[in-house]
Amino acid sequence: MTSASKGLEAGENRQMAAQGPSRGDWTGRILGGVALLSLISWLGCGGDPKPASARANVAQAVPVSVFTAERRDMPYYLTGLGSASAFYTDSVKSRVDGELMEVNFKEGQFVKKGDLLVVIDPRPYQVALEQAQAQLFKDQASLRDAKLNYERYKGLLQNSGAMSQQQVDTQAATVDQLEGTVRTDQAMIDNVKLNLVYCHITSPISGRVGLRLVDPGNIVHANDTNPLLVITQLQPIAVLFTLPEDQLPTVSQHMTKGALEVDAYSRDNETKLATGRLLTIDNQIDQSTGTGRLKAVFDNQNNTLWPNQFLNIHLLLEIRKNSTVIPAAAIQRGPQGTYVFVAKSDNTVDIRPVTVAFTQDNFSNIGSGLSPSEVVVTDGQDKLQEGSKIEVRAPAPALNPQHQATSPVSPGAGSSAK
């Protein structure tokens, strides 16, 4: 090769170096980098992908809470809203006019029937009584004189004819008139005596006195609008509550078998306040709400109920004997109806269709599909399906004993799968 051709080749090489690597060189470099990264990843993972695939294929156990179905007597309640009402409320007013001399009660005092409450000045009525008695005495004397004259006139007419029949009849009429006057006087005396009784106002019922509305020295009148005091009977006390009209026939049917028990609970429906009995059902249904009113009576010996107090009412219709009971949280609903997940001894679950008779206070009475001592899942069902593996969580601590005592259905403790 001549020196000229060598110089020309060297110039072309320098020109290609200045233009950079070709497209083929770039492709080779990229493939080499991908191979290097794959090698690094393989070395970092241990070099064997088979164990990871095996772990992915193993089913993980689902943590759940369970409950063992129990056989127990379960009460069946109907619930409604109501308010307490005083069995009797008396607004005590004066029936005579006069000055208040004595007020013999204190605000909030419990009084008995017949206790003296208020004394109105009786002196004007005592004077009126004496006047009426004097008038009676005077008219009685006139009556006696008229009777003597009548007997005298009648004797003269019969014996000698000295008196005419007209005079005798006139005297007889005079006697009758005076007898009427005497009876009027006696009625006047009785009326004044009654006013004297009205001056001493006694309690018409046993109950609790409200706030005092008058003071000693006030002048009261029989036609006053405001009462002297208000007495409410709290023992016993009534409670009015409502139930849907569809439930009234069932209640009426059970009433024929005996008195129905009624429990009154506080506003938050947590504390049981009193137990009474159902008295009656109203004779009509409220069309605007579709409910009927019922009235219950409570002895209220501890004065736990007060008039106009808001209450949650639980009406006990019956007690279902030997019922299969589980928590309501175990009940699931699907296109085919209600069902539960039943835990088996191999820590797997089956789907079991069940029929729920009724639910009361977070517990369900199972009509069919489940037997006592079977274990059902109460929490974690959203991750379960037929045959899923489960892992039972530790049971939750027991509820507050005081709360259990106030609940109509005593909650059962959680249990583990066998």
Q: How far is CA 294 from CA 80, 285, 286, 410, in A?
A: 10, 10, 12, 27
In the DSSP assignment, the letter for residue 271 is S
Domain 63-73+322-406 indexed as CATH 2.40.420.20: yes
Residue 412 neighbours by CB distance under 10 Å: 16
Q: How far is CA 80 from CA 188, 240, 241, 286, 361, in A?
A: 56, 10, 6, 15, 14
Domain spans of the chain?
Answer: 63-73+322-406, 78-87+231-319, 92-227
User: Looking at the predicted structure, is the pLDDT value of residue 274 above 90?
Assistant: yes
How far is the C-alpha of 358 from the C-alpha of 367, rounded, in Å? 8
User: Looking at the predicted structure, is the pLDDT value of residue 130 above 80?
Assistant: yes
Q: 219 - beta bridge partners? A: 99
Least confidently predicted of 141-155, 289-303, 399-413: 399-413
Predicted local confidence at residue 327, as pLDDT: 92
Report the chain's C-alpha Rg in angstroms: 49
The dihedral through the CA atoms of 35, 40, 46, 52 has a sign that is negative
Asked whether 233 and 300 are in contact (CB, 8 A), the reply is: no
Predicted local confidence at residue 155, as pLDDT: 86
Predicted local confidence at residue 28, as pLDDT: 56
Q: Read off the tokens for 52.
A: 């990871």
Over residues 161-197, the pLDDT tens digits come to 777 888 888 989 999 999 999 999 999 999 999 999 9
- Which CATH code, of 3.30.1490.390, 1.10.10.10, 2.40.50.100, 3.40.50.300, is assigned to 92-227? 2.40.50.100
Asked whether 195 and 92 are in contact (CB, 8 A), the reply is: no
Least confidently predicted of 128-132, 307-311, 336-340, 359-363: 359-363
Phi, psi of 285 (to 5 degrees): -105, 140
User: Looking at the predicted structure, is the pLDDT value of residue 13 above 90?
Assistant: no
**Helix 123-159 and helix 165-198, axial crossing angle in degrees, nearest 10:** 160
Q: What is the mean pLDDT of the chain?
A: 83
**Farthest CA pair distance, the chain:** 209
> Which of 358, 346, 354 is CA-nearest to residue 391?
346
Predicted local confidence at residue 360, as pLDDT: 83
CA 211 to chain centre: 27
Q: Which amino acid, one-letter code, is at 202?
A: T
Least confidently predicted of 7-11, 56-60, 61-65: 7-11
Q: Read off the tokens for 188.
A: 């006047």
Predicted local confidence at residue 29, as pLDDT: 63
Q: Read off the tokens for 247.
A: 């439930």
User: Looking at the predicted structure, is the pLDDT value of residue 297 above 60?
Assistant: yes
SS3 140: helix
Average pLDDT over residues 106-127: 94
Q: What is the dihedral of CA 399, 405, 408, 409, to 10 degrees?
A: 40
The domain made up of 78-87+231-319 has a fold known as: Elongation Factor Tu (Ef-tu); domain 3 (2.40.30)
User: Looking at the predicted structure, is the pLDDT value of residue 336 above 50?
Assistant: yes
The dihedral through the CA atoms of 106, 108, 110, 114 has a sign that is positive
Over residues 136-167, the pLDDT tens digits come to 999 999 999 999 988 888 888 888 877 788 88
SS3 321: strand
